Amino acid sequence: MTDEIKGKIGVIIEEHFDPTEYRRFNEYFPQQGYEVEYISHLWGNKELTFGSNPENDKVEYHATVSTEINDIDPADYKGIICIGAYAMDRLRYQVNVKKGEKSQAPAVAFIRKAMSAENVKIGTICHSLWLLCADSDLLKGRQVTCAHNIICDVENAGADVVYDGDITADLVIDGNLITGKHPGVVDEFMDAFVAEIEK
């Protein structure tokens, strides 16, 4: 653990987040000098507690979040990471929708701002690229990697999925966007994310 705080990394989270990523983010980023702040849409609550994906019928991790995604500026963070598993799909939900209108879900609106912010790196891993699929303008022409079961969603959103033989690449960096294939490459993903922040 370093005493120097270099800045904050915001991790967008909801119910059914990936437990491996959650554990490693909390261990690794503080060791590199970064505060990890979990952010979400809180639906008018002061805080909400989310559980990880169950493993062997047990929810091992819980994250209590008090930072409302509508109330923060992406520029206050060195980087924003969308945690894997099914959390990002839940954050695409919006109560009312209008034909022809881009997604107005709070997390989608936030990632839209974050993607266009100067000097803010965006990281996705495994299924979390789902959040960016909610607005094809975010992925059009971008090179990415992701879990195999969302390739169709990602390609339909206009992204160029990078392959390594018969599988998707472990890690792809395209400008401010760093994408990882799945939790098995979380260490490589975090190393690359910090390297990009510190360039």
We report the CATH number of the domain holding residue 18 as 3.40.50.880
Q: Based on the number of CB atoms within 10 Å of its own CB, is 80 exposed (0-12), middle (13-18) or buried (19 or more)?
A: buried
pLDDT at 141: 96
**pTM for the structure as a whole:** 0.96
Residues of the chain with pLDDT under 50: none
Confidence at residue 161, expressed as pLDDT on a 0 to 100 scale = 98
b (16+ CB within 10 A) / e for 128-149: bbbbbbbbeebbeebbbbbbee
Would you state the pLDDT for residue 74?
Answer: 97
Summarize pLDDT for 104-134 with one digit per residue, the tens.
999 999 999 999 998 999 999 999 999 999 9
pLDDT at 4 (0 to 100): 79
- So what's the pLDDT on residue 24? 98
Tally of domains in the chain: 1
In a domain, 2, yes or no: no
Tens-place pLDDT, residues 34-50: 999 999 999 999 999 99
In angstroms, the CA 53 to CA 50 distance is: 10
Q: Quick check: is 110 in a domain?
A: yes
What pLDDT, on a 0 to 100 scale, did the predictor assign at position 102?
93
Q: Is residue 1 part of a domain?
A: no
Structural domain for 60, as ranges? 7-197
- Residue 141 in any domain: the answer is yes
State the pLDDT at residue 181: 98
Enter the DSSP assignment of 5: -
Strands (E), the chain: 7-12, 34-40, 48-51, 62-65, 67-68, 79-82, 121-125, 143-144, 160-161, 163-164, 167-168, 171-174, 177-180
CB 54, CB 27: distance < 8 Å: no
Give residue 1's pLDDT.
Answer: 54
Please indicate, yes or no, if residue 17 is contained in any of the structural domains: yes
Question: What is the C-alpha separation between 187 and 141, in angstroms, rounded?
Answer: 26
The alpha carbon torsion through 3, 194, 40, 130 (nearest 10 deg) reads -170
pLDDT of residue 3: 66
